Amino acid sequence: MKITEPTPGAPCWVELGTPDVEAAAAYYRKVFGWRAETGPRAEAGGSIVLYLGAAPVAAVSPLYAPGQPAAWTVSFATRDADALAAAVTAAGGRELTAPRDVLGLGRFAVLADPEEAVFSVWQAGTFAGAGVFNAPGSLGWVELATRDEEAAKAFYTRVFGWTVGTHEDYPQWGVDGADFGGMSALDEFYPDDVGAYWLPYFAVADVDDTAARATEAGGVLLVPPTDVPHGPRIAVIRDPRGASFGIHRVGTEG
């Protein structure tokens, strides 16, 4: 993506909700080389922060509700979490977790768009978000899968003010034209019970090697390493506890 640091309106962080925090941290260490540290947010519910070198890149947290599936959540930076949450509900979305403070690190809310695609927003305090983007092992792209592309465009441009461009008929989200993500259609090839969702993509030096490590460590390939026409080489993986994420060859996003 063309965003290189936490920027209002753009992705700034990703967090994995999972039933086994320690096992998840061990899995992603094998896949991306991330190291885990129990940081200040542990006091707010047992989160582990994952690092690429000295830079924080993601977090792993326990599940908080019975029946909640393991999943990655993309967080977008905002200057005002309360105003953003209000804008989401005014535009037909839903507030899942009301805005709340996290130990002086910042203020966040968990929200859903009108098709129930879940995302969060982060108002920085002492913590702005990921310390690196687009490098191998860090967040490089986000993608919304939706059944109604026009409604999604209307919602997200209203709420965040995003720009919407195209690259070979692939709609792309941006902040002032700096693209950070895209949108794919949940068409007739998807079962009816598959709802809209946000999917993070992590940049990697070699998609095939990373996909092999991910499966050897217990993951499942949902999309095997594939060259997207006029786009990057990608793969989509489901981790051992059911959370999906994508990978793409570094330097080919957007």
CA angle, residues 173, 161, 126, in degrees to nearest 5? 90
149-172 pLDDT per residue, tens: 999 999 999 999 999 998 878 999
173 and 115 belong to one structural domain: no
User: What is the mean pLDDT of the segment spanning 210-226?
Assistant: 97
Look at residues 90, 124, 158 and tell me which one is the last residue of a structural domain.
124
Residues 32 and 73 in one domain: yes
> Last residue of some domain: 100, 124, 148?
124
Pair (143, 236) in one structural domain: yes
Q: Are residues 151 and 69 in the same domain?
A: no
Q: What is the pLDDT of residue 51?
A: 97
The two three-digit tokens of residue 118, written as one number: 């879940």
Q: Is there a single domain that holds both residue 80 and residue 173?
A: no
Q: Hey, what are 127's tokens?
A: 């913590």
Lowest mean pLDDT among 39-48, 49-58, 78-87, 94-103: 39-48
Compute the mean pLDDT over every residue in the chain, rounded to the nearest whole number.
93
Q: Under a CB-based contact definition with an 8 Å cutoff, are residues 201 and 245 in contact?
A: yes
**Amino acid 231: pLDDT:** 86
Q: How many domains does the chain have?
A: 2
Q: Do residue 167 and residue 111 come from a single domain? A: no
Residue 17 falls inside a structural domain:
yes
Q: How confident is the model at residue 192 (pLDDT cuts 50, 70, 90)?
A: confident
Residue-wise pLDDT tens digits, 106-115: 999 999 999 9
pLDDT exceeds 90 at position 133: yes
According to the 3-state scheme, what is the secondary structure of 196-218?
Answer: CEEEEEEEECCHHHHHHHHHHCC
Q: Tell whether 2 is covered by a domain.
A: no
Range of the domain at 49: 11-124
Report the CATH number at residue 180.
Answer: 3.10.180.10
Q: Does pLDDT of 41 surpass 60?
A: no
Distance CA 50, CA 59 (A): 5
